[in-house]
Amino acid sequence: MEGEVVEKNEKLFDKPDLINEDPYGEGWIARLKPANLEKDLQDLLTGEEVI
């Protein structure tokens, strides 16, 4: 995915374990502004496609 990092999770500097403890909540890493979201979503592999 191409894009611009618009925010980073400063909490991870003090508590990096948040990535594993709560990856879908407080453990997020960065917020991105995608350059071309439609194209990137077409190229995304999910579920059985990954294997």
User: What is the tens place of the pLDDT at every residue in 2-37?
Assistant: 999 999 999 999 999 999 999 999 999 999 999 999
Question: In this structure, is residue 8 part of a structural domain?
Answer: yes
What's the pTM? Answer: 0.68
Question: In this structure, is residue 30 part of a structural domain?
Answer: yes
Is the pLDDT at 49 greater than 90, yes or no?
no
**Domain region containing 2:** 1-34
Question: In this structure, is residue 49 part of a structural domain?
Answer: no
Question: In this structure, is residue 39 part of a structural domain?
Answer: no
pLDDT at 51: 79
Q: State the total domains in the chain.
A: 1
Contact between residue 1 and residue 31 where contact means Cβ atoms under 8 Å apart: no
Question: In this structure, is residue 3 part of a structural domain?
Answer: yes
Is the pLDDT at 48 greater than 90, yes or no?
no
Query: Which amino acid appears at position 12 of this protein?
Result: L
Q: Where do we find the tokens 């077409």? A: 42
Question: In this structure, is residue 43 part of a structural domain?
Answer: no
Question: In this structure, is residue 19 part of a structural domain?
Answer: yes
